[in-house]
């Protein structure tokens, strides 16, 4: 059983854009060393939820707490300062820059003073290599452009970067959406490694099979509303998949699509 204060907790959170309900009555909790999976199809409200946790948008109702303190984040920088790192699906990397430069992008260490101040390239190279190895990621060369890495490898570098820079909560936006089975498995391995390093992870996905492999808690969204919330020991993969697929709605659709029994000869 999880003990201690939640790293992040949303209670009955809602977000409106004019008359449009983007999110309504959503609750979730993220503890250190646990993975909370948020599942839903396109338009379910996953992106809005990410933006609230990441500090891009403020919620309109409900409470959002970080380590027990109710808050309204004003910016992504404030979220990062509070220990929340978000890795978006497009990763926001500079493809032609080397891996080490992308690893430190925006947080580059320097050496020297005055007119002799310059980037500490050697430290960045060595730190990047060490941080990746600590997560079990052994790249061929940290000097290679990050655009030459596979999608799975780039996701793993982003996860290792968040861990290195002291994130307490890691929010992952559909990290396996554009990947094949093998690369998805690699990414999920490092998602689990981040959990084992003591981070609280929010995994946004539309794939219940991937979620069930690593998740501890599951929150299901549909059209901006929370339709279910489960601990892993309280739901099976089949039931999770059925609920996400629409449950009774899917059964109704199956009946509609079933062809009538063809008439027998002579009728």
Extended beta strands in 33-190, E state: 35-39, 61-66, 69-70, 84-87, 110-111, 118-119, 169-173
For residue 2, pLDDT beyond 60: no
- Name which residue leads in pLDDT, 12 or 177: 12
Confidence label for 94 from pLDDT (cuts 50, 70 and 90): confident
What local confidence, expressed as pLDDT, does residue 1 receive? 47
Confidence band for 41, pLDDT divided at 50, 70 and 90? confident
Specify the pLDDT at position 35: 96
Q: Which residue has the higher pLDDT, 198 or 139?
A: 198
For residue 49 the two structure tokens come to 């939820």
Of 198, 236, 199, residue with least CA distance to 218: 236
**Residue 59: is its pLDDT beyond 90?**
yes
Q: At a CB cut-off of 8 Å and minimum separation 6, what does 212 contact?
A: 218, 232, 237, 240
Q: What are φ and ψ of residue 53, in 5° steps?
A: -65, -35
Cα-flanking dihedrals φ and ψ of residue 215, to 5°? -75, 150
pLDDT at position 3 is: 54
More confident residue, 3 or 67: 67
For residue 265, pLDDT beyond 80: no
DSSP 10: E
The mean of the pLDDT values for the chain is: 88
- What's residue 106's pLDDT? 82
Helices then strands, each counted (H, E), the chain: 9, 12
Please tell me the predicted confidence (pLDDT) of residue 43: 83
Which pTM was predicted?
Answer: 0.84
- Of residues 256 and 179, more confidence is placed in 179
| pLDDT tens-digit readout, 132-155 | 988 888 887 999 999 998 888 888
Measuring CA to CA, how many Å separate 57 from each of 8, 76, 78? 16, 9, 12
Note the CATH architecture for domain 8-97+167-257: 3-Layer(aba) Sandwich (3.40)
Distance CA 175, CA 46 (A): 13
Rounded average pLDDT over 118-144: 89
> Average pLDDT of 40-45?
86
Q: What is the pLDDT of residue 105?
A: 87
Block residue for tokens 């959503």: 26
Domain boundaries defined on the chain = 8-97+167-257
Q: Which of 163, 171, 173 is nearest to 135 (CA)?
A: 163
pLDDT of residue 263: 61
Mean pLDDT of the region 249-267: 62
pLDDT value, residue 226: 93
């Amino acid at each position: 059983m999880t003990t201690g204060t939640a790293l992040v907790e949303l209670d009955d959170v809602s977000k409106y854009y004019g008359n449009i309900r983007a999110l309504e009555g959503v609750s979730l909790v993220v503890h250190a060393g646990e993975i909370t999976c948020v599942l839903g199809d396109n338009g379910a409200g996953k992106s809005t939820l990410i933006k609230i946790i990441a500090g891009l948008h403020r919620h309109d109702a409900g409470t959002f707490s970080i380590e027990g303190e109710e808050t309204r984040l004003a910016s992504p920088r404030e979220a990062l300062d509070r220990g929340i790192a978000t890795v978006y699906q497009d990763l926001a990397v500079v493809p032609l820059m080397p891996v080490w430069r992308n690893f430190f992008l925006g947080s580059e260490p320097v050496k020297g003073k005055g007119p002799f101040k310059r980037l500490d390239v050697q430290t960045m190279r060595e730190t990047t290599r060490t941080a990746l190895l600590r997560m079990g990621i052994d790249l061929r060369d940290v000097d290679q452009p990050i655009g030459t890495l596979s999608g799975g490898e780039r996701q793993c570098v982003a996860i290792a970067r968040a861990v290195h820079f002291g994130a307490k909560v890691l929010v992952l936006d559909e990290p396996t959406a554009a990947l094949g089975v093998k690369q998805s498995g690699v990414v999920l391995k490092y998602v689990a490694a981040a959990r084992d390093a003591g981070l609280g992870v929010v995994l946004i996905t539309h794939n219940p099979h991937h979620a069930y492999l690593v998740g501890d808690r599951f929150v299901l969204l549909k059209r901006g509303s929370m339709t279910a919330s489960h601990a892993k020991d309280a739901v099976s993969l089949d039931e999770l998949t059925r609920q996400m697929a629409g449950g009774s709605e899917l059964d109704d659709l199956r009946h509609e699509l079933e062809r009538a029994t063809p008439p027998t000869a002579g009728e």
